Amino acid sequence: MSRVAAVQMASGPNVSANLIEAGRLITRAVRDHAAKLVVLPENFAIMGLTEQDKVKIREQDGQGPIQDFLANQAAKHGIWLVGGTIPLAAQADNKVRAACLLLDNRGRRVVRYDKMHMFDVHISETRENYAESQTIEAGEVIVVVDTPFGKLGLAVCYDLRFPELFRAMLAQGMEVLAVPSAFTAVTGMAHWEILTRARAVENLCYVVAAAQGGYHANGRETHGDSMIVDPWGLVLDRLPRGSGVVSADIEQARLRAIRRNFPAIEHQRLRCSLPEAK
Q: Which of 97, 94, 7, 89 is nearest to 44 (CA)?
A: 7
Strand partners, 138: none
Q: Which of 21, 36, 115, 132 is catalytic?
A: 115
Q: Is 115 an active-site residue?
A: yes
Q: Which of 54, 132, 157, 175 is catalytic?
A: 157
Q: Is 95 an active-site residue?
A: no
Q: Is 59 an active-site residue?
A: no
Q: Which of 21, 36, 42, 175 is catalytic?
A: 42
- What residues are annotated to the active site? 42, 115, 157
